[in-house]
Amino acid sequence: MKVQHIANAFQNSDCAMTAETAAFSDEEIAAHVRGIVSGPRHAKQAFVLAGYTYEDVYEMASGLLSALSSVASDSCPVCLCAENKAVIASAFLARLAGGPPLVLPYAHSPQVLEEMCASTGFRIAVTDGQREFPAGVRTIFPEHVRGSASGLTQERPLDPNAEVLRLYTGGSTGKPRTWSKTVKNLLAEAIYLSRRFEISHRDRFLATVSPSHIYGLLFSVLVPFVASAVVLGERYSFPSEILSGITGRAPTVLVSVPVHYRVLRGQTISGSNLRIAFSSAGVLDKGDGEAFHKRTGIRIVEIYGSTETGGIASRCRADGEKAFTPFEGIDWMIADERLHVRSDFVSGEIERAPDGFVVTPDRATLYDDNSFLLQGRSDSVVKVGGKRVDLEEVRSKVNQLPGVRDCIVISVPFNGGRENAIAALIEGDLEKAGLRRALADVLEPYALPRIIKIVASLPYTAAGKYDRKAIEEMFQKGPGHARRRAQP
């Protein structure tokens, strides 16, 4: 579809852009599936360093497929409750070879697994350790059911549009919901990313994010797997762990989130073999990215997207890029200040216009003919005293004040829910009265935070995102109940 056609179809649009073609046809994806299930290209190479080879992954997948064939069906998903990347890859492989669809929990606690079992009906769990599952759930350990590495080949590959797995979002902000991912959703994106960033069997991945979330799943399991690369099996969360992994395990690719680049700021990073770093799950602070680049010489590529839309665009400030450039194969446009996208990466459940476009929750403006600037979420604009207030703009101005390390700005109901008040949770070593005076110098009176809490560190989820549920609870409980959580 050409640019002019999209512009005509949306005459009220601010702009419209498109890539020439989709990334992959169904026939191409089917051919990739056949190639993958036929056997590993580098059987003896490590997939998980000092843990599992590619041959091991295929053997576990083969045994898992046999074990599941008599006890599972496409009508009921299998819970994939594992942190071991080789186990996750083996379950993915088994599904490509005709095994049952999978569902990944957003946490592995007994309560979450109980709730997930009730909502999805899973009765089988593929796992890598002893966990407390609901009564009646059968557990399978891929390590214990190995088969032949050549036992996955089938005559007819899984349909490119068949569901592979479901992922959760919203675990930190309310009732979680699931999004399905098809063969085409996941393989098209993983193969595209591996080619776009020239990932090969010579690369070694260090990830600070969990594979239970789409960014972690893609960049710490699927992208390395389709490129025959090596992954580090450990989960790196604390600054000392990340630094030790970078300097001691010789990774070439770092997969991380903004909060972790923040805690690395000011740290000495020497002896690194890194060639590229990725960041997602939030906007990377410009200063944090510049500090990392200055200390390591390594570019950070920011990935923009979501579980439901898949990857959309990227930018690298170290290369002078201010705006996000959409991936090839992504149709996009901006209408009524909202970013709309259409691609092979989008989950099936998301609401679409008749022409296939979906509306993202993000506001954007055109930067040039093939890139855009993000302007915050559409739900970040609220009315206070009859005035429109952009919470992201307030946050930006708060973050520029001396002594502020980071902050989150939200609106909270007051006066019986009839009005909105602006609340700011600020990380830093500050005196509140002086802070209020400084805010009055940079914000309009109606945009001033009515409620301010200062904490040692903001709360984050396991995925490296701000824990908005915990933040809202802080303001609900009053000034004396602000909980302080250790930053990852």
First to last CA, the chain: 44
Q: What is the pLDDT of residue 52?
A: 97
Alpha helices in 109-238 (DSSP H): 110-120, 183-196, 214-217, 223-226
Here the tokens at position 413 are 């109901």
Q: What is the pLDDT of residue 12?
A: 38
Decide yes or no: CATH 3.40.50.720 for domain 385-481. Answer: no
Q: What is the pLDDT of residue 371?
A: 95
What is the C-alpha separation between 299 and 122, in angstroms, rounded?
42
Least confident of 10-24, 238-252, 282-296, 408-422: 10-24
Q: What is the pLDDT of residue 207?
A: 96
Instruction: Render the burial of 411-450: b for 16+ CB within 10 Å, e for the rest.
Output: beeeeeeeebbbbbbbbbebeeeebeebbeeebeeebbbe
Question: Higher model confidence: residue 468 or residue 232?
Answer: 232
Q: What is the pLDDT of residue 482?
A: 37
Does 479 score more than 60 pLDDT? no
Q: What is the pLDDT of residue 417?
A: 58
Identify the residue whose tokens are 């997969």: 255
Domain residue ranges of the chain, discontinuous segments joined by +: 26-375, 385-481
159 burial (CB, 10 Å; 0-12 / 13-18 / 19+) is middle
Per CATH, 26-375 and 385-481 having the same topology is answered no
What is the C-alpha separation between 470 and 173, in angstroms, rounded?
8
Q: What is the pLDDT of residue 60?
A: 97
Q: Percent helix, strand, coil in the chain (nearest 5)?
A: 30, 25, 40
Q: What is the pLDDT of residue 478?
A: 44
Where does the pLDDT of residue 290 fall: very low under 50, low under 70, confident under 90, or very high at 90 and above? very high
Q: Could you tell me the CATH superfamily of domain 26-375?
A: ANL, N-terminal domain (3.40.50.12780)
Whole-model pTM? 0.82
Least confident of 28-32, 97-101, 160-164, 374-378: 374-378
Question: Higher model confidence: residue 461 or residue 444?
Answer: 444
Question: Higher model confidence: residue 465 or residue 4?
Answer: 465
The per-residue pLDDT for range 13-29, each reduced to its tens digit, is: 444 443 333 468 899 99
The per-residue pLDDT for range 35-90, each reduced to its tens digit, is: 999 999 999 999 999 999 999 999 999 999 999 987 767 678 999 999 999 999 99
Is 123 within 8 Å of 138 (Cβ atoms)? yes
The per-residue pLDDT for range 363-407, each reduced to its tens digit, is: 899 999 899 999 887 777 787 866 778 888 888 888 888 888 888
The per-residue pLDDT for range 332-370, each reduced to its tens digit, is: 999 988 999 999 999 999 999 999 999 998 989 999 989
- Percent of the chain whose predicted confidence (pLDDT) is above 90: 57
Does 9 score more than 50 pLDDT? no
What is the C-alpha separation between 246 and 377, in angstroms, rounded?
34
